[in-house]
Amino acid sequence: MRKINHVYIDGQFVTPHGTELLPLFNPATEQVIGEVRLADRTDALAAINAAKRAFPGFSKTSKEERIALLDRLSASFTERLDDLKAAMVEEYGAVRGVVDGLLPLTPGMFSAASKLLESYEFTRTRETTTVTMRPLGVAVAITPWNLSIAFVAQKVASAIAAGATIVVKPSELSAIQTQVMIEAFDAADVPPGVINVVNGRGDVVGDVLTTHPDVAKVGFTGSTAVGQQIMRNAADTLKRVTLELGGKGPSILLDDADIPSAVSAALSSGFLNNGQTCFAGTRILAPQSKLEEILEAIKSAMPAFKAGDPRDPATGVGPVVSQKQFDRVQGYIRLGQEEGAKLLAGGEGRPEGLEIGWFVKPTVFANVTNQMRIAREEIFGPVIVVIPFKDDAEAVSIANDTPYGLQAQVFSSNDDRAHRVARQIDAGTVLINRIIGDQEAPFGGIKQSGIGRENHIYGLEAYLEPCAITA
Ligand code: NAD
């Protein structure tokens, strides 16, 4: 049993003032694997104060000093990759493809920010005006449990590059990942108070961090409902917000797409991270003229998405994160059938041979209309719907008929046609014949998928304020 009883404030591992203990589970076994002592309001205030004290000095550091710090962070996270991977598998059932494929991008976020700084101009002049890009003060990062490290790294890398100090509140469900992460921060010799990490409940610690007048900016990744609450909290003191929220991404298979490879990619996107990915393509849009062929191809491809032990390299889909999420996803699978959708694969209950663990049968529904709740709401589990369309115009209209707008995929063998369709999709990112984006492109949503962008220069400038002096 692990006992996690430290937060990281002012460059020190400290025992939280908070005394609430939260059990930690392995979702593949339902066993309690540890316990975390949660921070409280007093701890949140201490972290904000530490970041506030560190800001005047850190905001005046040179680009070279911050480049060196970002390089140390990249090296330190590279060093701990195996421990981070193990924590992701144990704590939320991440499968091999995700830990090996996506986690290594994390150290790269620090090195990309370091490289960007080399050429970034913080001061620009125009006639008699000097514009200085100034770090905006104390920032806060609030993140979900899925791919926790990557979402923290994205925000911390931008804040450090900008010269802002930061308080990170990861999800209370990712305490083991958080523990490794704070050790990696500490090993990078971060000046005291520049990066602080407190765990704790959203409505306690998160509430303080998003309402406190000394916090200038909140970078949030999580659900749309919590994002809306954070924006309300931030309004009184006009904090800057970047909100990376939920999605219901379409994967559009145009009628000239190579069906076997497009189907395999679309299923990989929908089931990515056990179906718990904001940018997952959970709606497959299929041309009516090729519908039967596509449904057959989905059935043939399903064995690659077998549910099972996340430690087994052959497993395609691991468990969902909690009993609560398991019940919620089961509810949606029931609802889909009640709404008249037809099960093409999966269904209610646990997969055969997996009596223990929060495993869901990887599920695909056919006969779905875009008005059904299973097509409109983010399920956050391995459930994909297939919706037919007549022509490209109808595909675009169905793709855009959603409250979300995070990421979409278009599959086609004709570049011009794919780009023509992509340009009409209302989403922060549209990928053509691929399912993972470019790390240096802006990432973020439109509509209820969020506000603002992360990554590269777009992420950096979200931690800077352009201030002008005109003589
Ligand atoms: P969540 O919104 O429940 O929690 C996210 C974080 O917010 C946690 O740290 C939580 O403690 C905190 N929080 C909760 N209530 C709060 C409050 N009142 N004030 C401040 N903080 C509060 O999300 P989750 O269940 O951890 O993650 C799943 C959700 O995250 C899904 O909706 C998914 O789409 C979304 N997500 C979005 C992205 C993206 O980049 N757009 C990426 C990953 C996940």
Best of 278, 322, 378, 439 for a ligand 1 pocket test (most atoms within 8 Å of beta carbon): 278
Look at strands 215-221 and 138-142 and give their pairing: parallel
Q: How far is 253 from 265, CA to CA, in rounded Å?
A: 10
Q: Region 164-185: what's the mean pLDDT? A: 96
The answer, yes or no, to whether residue 286 has pLDDT greater than 90, is yes
Collect all residues with Cβ–Cβ distance below 8 Å to 282 and sequence separation of at least 6: 247, 248, 249, 270, 275, 378, 379, 383, 384, 385
**Residue 290's pLDDT band (cuts 50, 70, 90):** very high
Tell me how far the alpha carbon of residue 302 lies from the centroid of ligand 1, in angstroms. 30
Instruction: List the alpha helices (DSSP H) in 276-322.
Output: 291-301
pTM to 2 decimal places: 0.96
**Residue 277's pLDDT band (cuts 50, 70, 90):** very high
Q: Region 262-287: what's the mean pLDDT? A: 97
Give pLDDT tens digits for 8-62.
Answer: 999 999 999 999 999 999 999 999 999 999 999 999 999 999 999 999 999 999 9
Answer whether 215 contacts ligand 1 (Cβ < 6 A): no
Give pLDDT tens digits for 390-404.
Answer: 999 999 999 999 999
- Please tell me which residue in 244, 296, 338, 355 is annotated as part of the active site: 244
Give pLDDT tens digits for 77-124.
Answer: 999 999 999 999 999 999 998 999 888 889 999 999 999 999 999 999
Give pLDDT tens digits for 352-377.
Answer: 999 999 999 999 999 999 999 999 99
Buried b (16+ CB within 10 A) or exposed e, 317-328: bbbbbbeebbee
Please give the pLDDT value at position 146: 86
Nearest atom in ligand 1 to 173's CA: 26
The answer, yes or no, to whether residue 136 has pLDDT greater than 90, is yes
Give pLDDT tens digits for 55-83.
Answer: 999 999 999 999 999 999 999 999 999 99
Tell me how far the alpha carbon of residue 299 lies from the centroid of ligand 1, in angstroms. 33
Collect all residues with Cβ–Cβ distance below 8 Å to 65 and sequence separation of at least 6: none
Please give the pLDDT value at position 226: 98
Best of 109, 171, 282, 376 for a ligand 1 pocket test (most atoms within 8 Å of beta carbon): 171
Q: How far is CA 171 from the centre of its chain?
A: 12
Answer whether 175 contacts ligand 1 (Cβ < 6 A): no
In whole angstroms, how large is the CA radius of gyration of the chain? 22
Rounded to the nearest 10 degrees, the angle between the axes of helix 63-79 and helix 175-187 is 130
Answer whether 448 contacts ligand 1 (Cβ < 6 A): no
- Which residue lies with its CA nearest to atom 30 of ligand 1? 222
Task: Report which of residues 2 and 423 the model is more confident about.
Answer: 423
Please give the pLDDT value at position 144: 95
**Residue 147's pLDDT band (cuts 50, 70, 90):** confident
- Which residue lies with its CA nearest to atom 43 of ligand 1? 278
Answer whether 388 contacts ligand 1 (Cβ < 6 A): no
Give pLDDT tens digits for 297-347.
Answer: 999 999 999 999 999 999 999 999 999 999 999 999 999 999 999 999 999
Tell me how far the alpha carbon of residue 223 lies from the centroid of ligand 1, in angstroms. 4
Counting residues of the chain whose pLDDT is more than 90, the rounded percentage is 97
Give pLDDT tens digits for 405-416.
Answer: 999 999 999 999
Give pLDDT tens digits for 186-241.
Answer: 999 999 999 999 999 999 999 999 999 999 999 999 999 999 999 999 999 999 99
The answer, yes or no, to whether residue 432 has pLDDT greater than 90, is yes
Q: Are 148 and 174 in contact (CB under 8 A)?
A: yes
Best of 168, 181, 223 for a ligand 1 pocket test (most atoms within 8 Å of beta carbon): 223
Closest by CA position to 167, among listed 103, 210, 224: 210
Counting residues of the chain whose pLDDT is more than 70, the rounded percentage is 100
- Please tell me which residue in 278, 394, 440, 454 is annotated as part of the active site: 278
* Domains along the sequence of the chain with CATH: 2-245+447-470 (3.40.605.10), 250-432 (3.40.309.10)
Please state, in angstroms and as integers, the Cα–Cα distance from residue 175 to each residue in 91, 93, 115, 293, following that order.
Answer: 8, 14, 30, 45
Q: Which helix (H) or strand (E) holds 240?
A: strand 240-244
Please give the pLDDT value at position 135: 98
Answer whether 454 contacts ligand 1 (Cβ < 6 A): no
Q: Is 467 a catalytic residue?
A: no
Tell me how far the alpha carbon of residue 319 lies from the centroid of ligand 1, in angstroms. 19
Answer whether 379 contacts ligand 1 (Cβ < 6 A): no
Q: How far is 71 from 111, CA to CA, in rounded Å?
A: 6
Please give the pLDDT value at position 97: 87
The answer, yes or no, to whether residue 470 has pLDDT greater than 90, is yes
Look at strands 283-287 and 383-389 and give their pairing: parallel
228 bridge partner residues: none
Please give the pLDDT value at position 1: 83
Q: Are 418 and 412 in contact (CB under 8 A)?
A: yes
Coil vs helix vs strand at 257: coil
Coil vs helix vs strand at 196: strand
Please give the pLDDT value at position 360: 98
Please give the pLDDT value at position 357: 97
Specify burial of residue 423 (Cβ count, 10 A radius: 0-12, 13-18, 19+).
Answer: exposed
Amino acid at 38: L
Q: Count the neighbouring beta carbons within 10 Å of the beta carbon of residue 77.
A: 26
Coil vs helix vs strand at 386: strand
